[in-house]
Amino acid sequence: MKEQIYTIPLNEAFEKDSECPFCELQKKLEAEVLDYVLGPSYMEEDIRTETNKLGFCRYHYDKIFNAKNRLGAALMVSTHMLKVNGDLEKLLDEEKAEKPRGFLKKKNAESPFLKYSEELQGGCYACKRESGRMDSYFYTFFYLWKTEEEFRQKVASCKGFCIEHLARIIDESRSRLGAADRQALLDTVIPLQKENMKRVKEELDWFVKKFDYRFHDEPWGNSKDALERAILKLSGTLLRSDPREAE
């Protein structure tokens, strides 16, 4: 099957004991993208041209800075900075040369340099690469839902999703599925999500109770990491830097 490159990781993510299979995929993807960016591929001309142009977001700069390859990071940042410095020469001189236009000046007119800064902060080679791969995973999710009963079973027995990824499933199902397939999906994931949100809330409540001396000797049950999992359900973000799996 030509889609295998995406179906295998998707199947694996749904088999894993996780609060959101798509967050699992995103976490794996993030590690791969980081390896890719800091690996030898970055020496390739077309990739280097793109990283030079886009740079990285704050989140990925942090990851790159803390990755083991400081030299690779320094070389990449250095060539990106060369590009930015070139842009700055031109843009800052233009800002300096611009004359105030008095009452004719539009109140909300944005300075070209602010626009440049916003574009620079908003662009990120790693985010762009990750989001392209995530698009393919969502595409494959609907493809498998339509074609494989076995995959439907896997979805039915997972622990639901984070809010963001559930919203994406619901939204994309409108354009990617026919009425019957969409209905079957909603009938599966909506009760699943409600049930699992309640479960995590209960686990979190038990986590809180464990701070009360009266419950001190009671067993933790599944609640030891309930706070991480509750935050994950709500925002998905904590899993991106899951401390339990930090090495």
- Using CB under 5 A as the binding rule, whether residue 126 contacts Zn ion is answered as yes
Give the interface segment with Zn ion, choosing from 29-37, 84-92, 121-129, 193-201 (CB under 5 A). 121-129
**Shortest CA distance to 110 belongs to which of 98, 124, 127, 121?**
98
- Using CB under 5 A as the binding rule, whether residue 60 contacts Zn ion is answered as yes
With CB under 5 A as the contact rule, the residue among 162, 192, 197, 238 that binds Zn ion is 162
With CB under 5 A as the contact rule, the residue among 9, 55, 160, 236 that binds Zn ion is 236
- Using CB under 5 A as the binding rule, whether residue 144 contacts Zn ion is answered as no
- Using CB under 5 A as the binding rule, whether residue 33 contacts Zn ion is answered as no
For the bound state, the minimum distance from the C-beta of residue 59 to Zn ion, rounded and expressed in Å, comes to 5
For the bound state, the minimum distance from the C-beta of residue 80 to Zn ion, rounded and expressed in Å, comes to 13
Backbone angles phi, psi at 224, to 5 degrees: -55, -40
For the bound state, the minimum distance from the C-beta of residue 193 to Zn ion, rounded and expressed in Å, comes to 11
Q: Which of residues 179-218 bind Zn ion (CB under 5 A)?
A: none
- Using CB under 5 A as the binding rule, whether residue 229 contacts Zn ion is answered as no
With CB under 5 A as the contact rule, the residue among 10, 13, 23, 192 that binds Zn ion is 23
What's the N-to-C CA distance of the chain in angstroms? Answer: 35
For the bound state, the minimum distance from the C-beta of residue 210 to Zn ion, rounded and expressed in Å, comes to 26
For the bound state, the minimum distance from the C-beta of residue 165 to Zn ion, rounded and expressed in Å, comes to 4
- Using CB under 5 A as the binding rule, whether residue 25 contacts Zn ion is answered as no
49 near 192, Cβ under 8 Å? no
- Using CB under 5 A as the binding rule, whether residue 57 contacts Zn ion is answered as yes
With CB under 5 A as the contact rule, the residue among 7, 9, 10, 20 that binds Zn ion is 20
Interface with Zn ion by CB under 5 A: which residues? 20, 22-23, 57, 60, 124, 126-127, 162, 165, 236
